[in-house]
Amino acid sequence: MVETSGERLLTGEDDTRALGAELAGLARPGLVVLLVGDLGAGKTTFSQGFCAALGVEDAVTSPTWALCNVYRWHSGELHHYDLYRLEHARELDAIGLEESVSSGALTLIEWPELALDQLLEPALEVHLEHAGEQRRVQWR
């Protein structure tokens, strides 16, 4: 059984993908996964492992420029957002974040800080940070 909260030190991208795959065991339609961390902390790498474990067959890439990538998984749609380039919360309406969340899609959000006031759905928070040559990941 997957623990709903925890902390781990990771030593590379393979470890980050593996933790993403492990935490995919918590996935369900309507879950919002908040991925918090500095540039290069491993948010997209985590997403790759998470999505692969759910059977997503497409290449999972950072949606920094597209703002949202939509994938199919065994229980429906998975919407993967990256809010890094947004400057104001009012921009969230234009990219359809509220509609994604209210539709019951599984939603991953990188750089979620602008959206925190609007997210009332159940959320899994994953914090990734640099720890020397390693990454420290906490989730709850």
| 133 falls within a domain | yes
How much is the average pLDDT of 127-139?
95
Range of the domain at 112: 6-139
| 25 falls within a domain | yes
Nearest to 137 by CA among 53, 30, 15, 14: 15
Could you tell me the pTM of the whole model?
0.93
Confidence of residue 50 (pLDDT cuts 50, 70, 90): very high
- 63 has a pLDDT exceeding 80: yes
| 1 falls within a domain | no
Domain with residue 40: its CATH number is 3.40.50.300
| 124 falls within a domain | yes
pLDDT score, position 121: 65
| 52 falls within a domain | yes
Confidence of residue 27 (pLDDT cuts 50, 70, 90): very high
CA distance 118 to 121: 9
Token pair for 134:
């390693």
- 119 has a pLDDT exceeding 80: no
| 92 falls within a domain | yes
| 38 falls within a domain | yes
How much is the average pLDDT of 67-87?
95
pLDDT score, position 29: 94
The helix or strand, by DSSP H or E, that contains position 81, with its residue range, turns out to be strand 76-82
| 51 falls within a domain | yes
pLDDT score, position 125: 95
Q: How many distinct structural domains can be found in the chain? A: 1
- 51 has a pLDDT exceeding 90: yes
